[in-house]
Amino acid sequence: MGVFDSGLGGLSVLREMRCLLPSEDMLYFGDSGYCPYGGRPPEFILGRSATVTGYLVERGAKIIVVACNTATSVCIPELRARFDVPIVAMVPAVKPAAAATRSGKIGVLATPLTVTGESLAALIREHARDTEVHPVPAPGLVELVEAGLLSGPQVEDALRPLLCPLLERGVDTVVLGCTHYPFLRNAMTALSGPNLAIIDSGAAVARRTRHVLAEQGLLHTGDVPGRLELFTSGEITHVGAVASRLLGEPVTATHIAV
Ligand code: DGL
């Protein structure tokens, strides 16, 4: 299976997939050399996503998981048109959040591109019609996770202006619409207190991936644990160290110049 993101955020999805699909071999491509995608032109994001997908398919990936909300909202139809393998995309957890909120008010934290994109607007129209939805662009959080900064004063200073206004408005449920953000969940809870529900879609995407693999007869089961290979366009020592921290196990990164 091939999984990619603009950087290391997609590891929050990969760790869910490794729990659910432990015998699948996984190739992860973190495009950290070009991260963040969030402020870039759509053509650039499509270009990188197609290049990375092409590389993973060439390496034998039987399915691609786009573990990046920004790439999903910009270029999923184009990727599906260009490649023959099944492509699984991210969907921000707006539907479960709308079902869970007691105050009727939810927040959606995402990159600026995802917040202004048509996919999020469509999701809100479809699943959260009767809910007050506050989409919040959160520039800067991706960079913190890429740097391996998950807690401390710098993280709190970045999160406070995003979360406090939501809490003041009575939001009780926040959707993490970027795959980097689950790694900041503890820091968010430390600021908000335990009454704010924070929902991401990693586990749902893992279930969807298993479903697609099973449906297409591609599911691999067995007792032998699958291998994980980590590729990056970024700097391997740094990427390897941060990835090991995020996954809680040692991983080595290989540089790929595509
Ligand atoms: N993890 C990516 C996402 O889910 C971050 C995008 C970026 O690099 O701006 O949107």
CATH number assigned to the domain comprising residue 245: 3.40.50.1860
Query: Distance between CA atoms of 94 and 155, rounded to whole angstroms?
Result: 25
Q: How far apart are CA 134 and CA 161, in angstroms?
A: 14
Instruction: For residues 152 and 195, state if they share a domain.
Output: yes
Q: Are residues 195 and 209 in the same domain?
A: no
Whether 68 sits among the annotated catalytic residues: the reply is yes
Q: Are residues 247 and 225 in the same domain?
A: yes
Beta bridge mates, 26: 228
Among 200, 230, 245, give the residue marking a domain's end.
200
196 & 104 share domain: yes
- Structure-block tokens of residue 40: 């870039």
Which ligand 1 atom is the nearest neighbour of the CA of 177?
A: 4
Question: Given this model, what pLDDT does residue 198 score?
Answer: 98
Q: Which residues contact 227 (CB under 8 A, 6 or more apart)?
A: 25, 26
- For residue 224, the CA-to-ligand 1 centroid distance in Å is 32
Are residues 186 and 138 located together in one domain of the fold? yes
pLDDT in the model for residue 222 = 87
Which residue has the CA at smallest separation from atom 2 of ligand 1?
A: 68
Both 246 and 211 in one domain: the answer is yes
Atom of ligand 1 nearest to the CA of 10: 1
| Total number of domains constituting the chain | 2
The domain of 229 spans 2-90+203-255
| pLDDT recorded at residue 170 | 97
Task: Give me the pLDDT at residue 109, please.
Answer: 98
pTM of the model: 0.97
**Do 127 and 31 reside in the same domain of the chain?**
no
CB proximity list for 101: less than 8 A, separation 6 or greater: 131, 172, 173, 197
Weakly modelled stretches of the chain, pLDDT under 70: none
Question: Do residue 149 and residue 103 come from a single domain?
Answer: yes
Which residue among 19, 35, 68, 75 is the active-site one? 68
CA distances from 190 to 100, 155, 184, 195 (A): 21, 11, 10, 11
> Are 132 and 226 contained in the same domain?
no
Q: How far is CA 78 from the centre of its chain?
A: 19
Is-catalytic flag, 178? yes
Based on the fold, state whether residues 8 and 30 are members of the same structural domain: yes
Give the domain-ending residue among 180, 200, 220. 200
Q: Final residue of a domain: which of 185, 200, 215?
A: 200
CB-ligand 1 contact for 69 (6 Å cutoff) = yes
131 Cα: distance to centroid of ligand 1 (angstroms): 25
What is the structure's pLDDT at 54?
Answer: 98
pLDDT digit string, tens, across residues 165-174: 999 999 999 9
